[in-house]
Amino acid sequence: MEGGYAVNGWKEDKYQDGQLLHKGYYIKGQLKVYKNYYPNGNLERNFKSIDGFRSKALLYFENGNLKSEVLYSNDFAMEWTDYYINGQIEYYEKYHKNQCHHLDKKAYYEDGQIENELILENKKKLLYTYQEYYPNGSMKLKGHIKYDMGIYDYAKYGTWSNFDEQGNSTTKDHY
C-alpha cells in the first residue's frame, strides 16, 4: 500500500548512498517480480512469480556467484539447491507434490564429493535408503528409512551399518 492505495507498477528502494537496494513490480499490491542488490551493486536475489501458485527465487553471493535456487509451490519450497561459493553444489532436495516427503535429497562436500543421500526405493511404501560417506568417498553409514504419515517424519528401520574410513564394517544397529 502506498498513500492508501495498492501499489501498481515498478517500485524502487535505495540505500542511503543512493545505490539501488530493491526493484519490484506490483500488480494490485501483490509483488510479482523483484530484485534485491548488495551495496556493491551486485544482485543479491531475483524473485519471479511464475503463476498464481508457483514462483522461483535465485540468491547470489556478494561476488555474483549463485548461492541458492528455490522453486516454490503455494509458498512451500518444493525444490531447493544450495551452492558453495566456488560453484559446487552443497545441497539438493526435491519434495513430492503433497509436500510431505522427499523425492530426492543429497548433500555434498565442497570439492563436489557426495556427503550423504536419501534414495527413494519404494514410492508406494515410502521406503528409502540413507547413505553417508567420508570425504575420501568411502561409505560411512548405510541404512533404511521409512516416511511415517502418522508422525509426518522419517523413522529408521532394519539394519544400519557403520564403516571406518577404509570401508570396513565396524558396527551394526537394528531398528
* pLDDT of 70 strictly over 90: yes
Asked if residue 101 belongs to a domain, the reply is yes
* pLDDT of 85 strictly over 90: yes
One DSSP character per residue, 75-105 reads: TEEEEEEEE-TTS-EEEEEEE-TTSSSEEEE
What's the whole-number average pLDDT of the chain?
95
* pLDDT of 135 strictly over 90: yes
Number of domains in the chain: 1
Asked if residue 167 belongs to a domain, the reply is yes
**pLDDT tier, 81 (very low <50, low <70, confident <90, very high otherwise):** very high
Asked if residue 140 belongs to a domain, the reply is yes
Asked if residue 104 belongs to a domain, the reply is yes
Residues of the domain holding 101? 88-174
* pLDDT of 123 strictly over 90: yes
